[in-house]
Amino acid sequence: MFVNITIPNWSDFAHFVPEAIMFGAFLLALMGDVIVRGRKPVVPFLITLLGALAALYYSFASPPVGDAGVLGSLVMIDSFAGFFRIVFSFVAVVTILFSWSSEEIMGSTREHKGEYYALIALMTGGMMVMAEARDLVMLFMSMELVALTSYVMAGYMRNSLRSTEASLKYVIFGAVSSGIMLFGMSLLFGMTGQMTFVGIRDALVANPVNDLSMLVVLIMIMAGFGYKIAMVPFHFWCPDVYEGAPTPVSAFFSVGPKAAGFALMIRFFFTVFQPIVDTIDWPLMIAILSAVTMTYGNIVAVKQTNVKRLLAYSSIAHVGYLLMGFLLLTPGGLQAILFYLLVYAVMNLGAFMFVSAINNSIKSEELSDYAGLGFRAPWASVMMFIFLVSLVGLPPAAGFIGKLYLFTEVLREGWYWLAIVGVLNSVISLFYYMQIARAMYFEKVPEDAPAVKIAPLHYVTMALLAVPTLILGLYWSEFKAIADQAIAGF
C-alpha cells in the first residue's frame, strides 16, 4: 500500500542555515582529511574556516525575525539565538585561525590533524543548538553533543600525560553531573507531565508542587548547568582541564561552552522559573552561589604560578560576576549578562591566545618565565596588557562597561551586600592580573632567556580580539543594543 509521507516541517530547515553550515563543514572536513593527504591539513582548515566565516556572515546579514518554534517545539529560532550564533561563529573563526600556527595542535605527532578542525566545527554547531533548545530532549542532547566533542578535544595531545589527565577528569565529572541533571529532569517531567519549557511553566503555575521537591529538582538540574559553566561547587574539573588541554582548546572551552551553558540556562530558568521565582528563594540562592563562586575563583587565583591555571581560576571568578545578573531573572539583568558574555568572550579568548602564542616559542606557561616579556615581545605584550586591564574591569577597556551594567542591575534590585562583595573581588583580581603585567614589564630579562618569536597569524588573531576589547569599552551602545534586543524577543 502506498503511504503518503508528508514532512510538515521540511521548510523549517530554512531556519537552520548557520547550524547546517557548521555541521556540513564538520562532515566535509572529516572527509577532506582522509582524501587529501599532506604534511599540514590544509583542506580541513580551509573548509572549517570558510564555513565559520559563512556562518558569521549569515548570522549578521539575516538575523532571525520574530520567534519561530521549528521542528515541532524542539527548538526556537529567535533574536536570542541569533545573538549567540554571532558570538559562537566569531569565536570559532578566531580559534581556527589561531590553531593553524599553534605548535601544540599542529606539531603533535598525530596522523589526522584535520580532525581537530572538524571537531571545532561540530562543537560550534552544537553550541548554536544549545542556545536554541526549548525542550528537555533538545536541552539534554545539545549539551551532550558539546560535552562529548569537548572530551575528545581536551585529550587531543594523546601522548601527553597532562592532556590525557585533563580529558579523563573532564569526562568523569561531565558524565556524572549530566546524569544527575537527567535524573532531575525526569522528576520535573513527572511533576508536570510536560517536555517543553513553556509547558512545564504553565503546569507549575496551574498546579504548584511543594517547595521541597521543587528545591530537589532545582539542585539536580543546577548540577548539570553548574558543571557546564564551572560554577562553585561544580568547578573542580575546570583548572585541571584548562591547564592540561592544549592552550587553543582551553581558550575555546573557556568562552564557547561556557557562553552556551549560560544561553541554555537563561532560556530554561527564565521560561520555567520566572513566574515562581518568589516561592523558592531563588534570589538568595543565586546571590550566595555568585558570591561564593567569585570569591573562591579570585582568592585561589592569587597564589597560582602557572598562567594558564591562573586564567582558569579567573574564569571561575567571571562566572561569579555573570551570575549576579541572574538574581531576579529580570530582563535588565539578563541583558547585562549577554553583554558581559560578549565582552568576556573577546577578552578571555585574547588572554588565552597570548599564553598559547608565548608557549609556542618558550614552551612554558610559568609566571617566572614571563619575566621581561614586554621587551622580548613588545606588540603581543601590549595586547595582553589590554586584555588584562579589561579582565580587571578598568576603563577604557570593555570589561569596565560590562561590569558596570552588571553592578547597576544588582544595585537596582537592592542587593547591596552582593555589589560590595563584587567590588571587593575586583580589587583582589587587580592584584593577580597585575602580577602578570609586573612580570612582563618590571622584571629584568634573564640572561639565558630564549628568544620569543610570534607567528604572523597569532598577531592577526590577537589584534582581532584586542581591537574589539577597546571598541566595546568606548563605543558600546551599538553592541549593547544588540544584546538588549536579544532578550526583548523572549
Partner 1 sequence: MMEVGLTHYLTVGAILFTLGIFAVMTRRNTVALLMGVELILNGANVNFVAFSRFVETSIDGHIMAAFVIVLAAAEAAVALAIVLAMFRNFGTVHVDSVDSLKQ
Residues that bind partner 1 (CB under 8 A): 136-137, 140-141, 144, 148, 151-152, 155, 158-162, 164-168, 171-172, 175-176, 179-180, 182-183, 185-187, 189-190, 193-195, 239-240, 243-244, 306, 309
Choose between 160 and 408: whose C-beta lies nearer to partner 1. Answer: 160
Task: Considering the complex, state which of residue 243 and residue 484 has its C-beta at the smaller distance from partner 1.
Answer: 243
> Which residues does 481 contact at the CB level (< 8 Å), separation at least 6?
none
CB of 209 vs partner 1, minimal distance in Å: 12
Taking a C-beta distance cutoff of 8 angstroms, is the pair 166, 245 a contact? yes
CB 119, min distance to partner 1, A: 12
Output the nine-digit C-alpha cell for 477. 551602545
For residues 186 and 393, give the distance between their C-alpha atoms in angstroms, rounded to a whole number: 41
Report the distance separating Cα 223 and Cα 382, nearest Å: 39
Could you tell me the sign of the dihedral formed by the alpha carbons of 220, 221, 227, 232, in that order? negative
Residue nearer to partner 1 on the CB measure, 137 or 420 = 137
Q: CB nearer to partner 1: give 246 or 325.
A: 246
> C-beta of 167: minimal distance to partner 1 in Å?
5
In the complex with partner 1, the residue whose CB is nearer, 119 or 128, is 119
The count of residues in the chain is 490
3-state secondary structure of 68: strand
Residue closer to partner 1, measured from CB, 183 or 490: 183
Say which residues have a Cβ less than 8 Å from residue 14's Cβ, sequence separation at least 6.
Answer: none
Residue type at 379 in one-letter notation? W
Nearer to partner 1, 316 or 346 (CB): 316
Rounded Cα gap, residues 282 and 209, in angstroms: 15
CB of 303 to partner 1, least distance (A): 11
Question: What is the smallest separation between the CB atom of 162 and partner 1, expressed in angstroms?
Answer: 5
Side chain identity at residue 409, one-letter code: E
C-alpha to C-alpha distance for 397 and 387, rounded to whole angstroms: 8
Provide the CB-side half-sphere exposure for 299 (13 A, CA). Answer: 10
Q: Smallest gap, in angstroms, from Cβ of residue 221 to partner 1?
A: 12
Q: How far is the CB of 484 from partner 1 (least distance, A)?
A: 35
